[in-house]
Chains A and B, each alone.
Chain A
Amino acid sequence: MDIKSVIVIGAGTMGSGIAQWFATHHVNVELVDSNQDQLNKALTSIHSSWDKLAQKNKISTAQAEEMKKFLFVKQLSSANKKADLIIEAIIENLEIKKNLFQELDRDFSAHTILASNTSSFPITLLAEAVSDKRKENFIGLHFFNPAIIMKLVEVIVGDKTSTVLAQDLYNWFDQKDKKPAMCKDSPGFIVNRVARNFYGEPLRIVDEDDQEKMREVDHILKEVGGFKMGPFELMDLIGIDINYSVTCSVWDSYNKEPRFAPHKLQKQMVDEGRFGRKTKKGFYQYE
């Protein structure tokens, strides 16, 4: 398999990061968004990020300029209809995503692989929007933020996804300095499922709104466990609301299995508007 042309739809944080990664690896990528201002902002930000790397001598100026040649911003109507791969990274709304995939299925070449970067919806459910023929070419490619740095790509195999396609994509990313992980279509895939208890268990160890105990748990898990961030400071960074929402989504998907149950403190904090760093109040206080 050779992926030579990619379209990334959605110029938010994830979409921009994914597009930047492809361009960095000299794969032609068209970043698409219906909002032209958002597209221009994303392009400026990605260019600036390469320029900064060049200023810090992490890459040469020539390398930075070369990368820029692989990145384009476009409206969907003018995007390359024969692209090898399209990655959807738009808002997590099932109806909007399904409508988009229906359009992509209709307008793009039969060989084009359609992929979703969703973290919330089953790939098999999204694939309902496309024709039976396209379903084989429909897959989940779940990147992690920041996509330019985090090496993992979860390759998610839906019920009708071709296993040959999944393996080919796995191998392609593996050769391109990503660390792919093959995963069956299931709630939370691998990471958002297995990582739930990195938050859930420390919440139960502390079990109350006690900042000193949280600080101690964070300290032990970094110092003894070797984690880069403690669970409480990480939840504050991610956003208590976001983390709570993912927890509830996985819990619901697994029929309220107790292993995934949110802790009462999470709901209490969301109700109080303590969302973490972004509201300057979370498990900790921020000035």
Chain B
Amino acid sequence: MEEKRKKVFISMSKTIVEFGYKKKQEIISFLESHPNDNVYMDLSCYDPAEFYSSYPQLKGAFAALFCDENKKVEIHLKEKNAEAIQILKDHGLTPIETTIVSCGFIFPRTIAQIVNEAFFALDEGIASKEDIDRAMKFGVNYPKGPFEWAQGRKEYFITLLTELYQKTQDGRYKISPKLLNS
């Protein structure tokens, strides 16, 4: 009888791939509303580990909010799922798998700190936005300048840096007032 019930339960599980920016409470609400599904969620600005531990229905997380023109997206899979990967591909994305679970993944977290520093430098009047972008692209071959990365994504960077600071209490993640207020 127990075995039979389990089978019914499995057959009712759906694979859900959830895109877009959400505040933490919205993520929790979403996960709580899908207790029996296999959820793969955009957690670009957060630490997937924090949700994995409390919500077993979360089977993977990806970072599409920081996706560039190449449409490649970092994904961590707690449970492999071909359907979830196909859904991402159907949205024009190319998933690149990582085994590292980190707050803000790898690419978003790294550029968040580069962008934050560029805003500090701007705030101190070191150089213009254009010259900072130009310096990073032509001095060290960055694919984009920090302000080009920040375009349309300031809220995401602020959320990610806030999360990093709250988790680590490390002053290196304090946000530039210029990034916060511009």
Contacts and interface: CB of A to CB of B under 8 A. Distances in A.
Contacts, number: 141
A182 B113 CA distance: 22
A195 B134 contact: no
A186 B135 CA distance: 15
B126 A258 contact: no
B117 A144 contact: no
A216 B99 contact: yes
Contacts of B110: 197-198, 201-202, 205, 221, 225, 231
B48 interface: no
Nearest to A196: B117
B139 A223 contact: no
A96 interface: no
Contacts of A190: 121, 126-127, 131-132, 135-136, 139
Interface centre among A144, A196, A220, A223 (most CB of B within 10 A): A220
A286 interface: no
Interface centre among B68, B105, B106 (most CB of A within 10 A): B106
Contact of B107 (A152, A224, A259): A224
B124 A186 contact: yes
Interface in B110-143: 110-114, 116-118, 120-121, 124-128, 131-132, 134-143
Contacts of A197: 110, 113-114, 116-117
B111 A225 contact: yes
B127 A261 contact: no
Contacts of A217: 100, 106
Interface residues of B, number: 47
A87 to B, nearest CB: 17
B86 interface: no
Contacts of B22: none
A181 B121 contact: no
Interface stretch (B3-11, B34-42, B69-77, B150-158): B69-77
B20 interface: no
B170 to A, nearest CB: 6
A154 interface: yes
A213 B102 CA distance: 12
B96 A226 contact: no
A183 interface: yes
Contacts of B113: 197, 200-201, 259
Contact of A181 (B107, B117, B125, B131): B131
A69 interface: no
Contacts of B141: 150, 227-228
Given A183-B131, A196-B117, A197-B114, A151 B136 contact: no
15 contacts: A154-B139, A181-B127, A181-B132, A181-B134, A184-B125, A190-B139, A195-B114, A198-B110, A217-B100, A224-B72, A224-B73, A257-B171, A259-B113, A259-B120, A259-B174
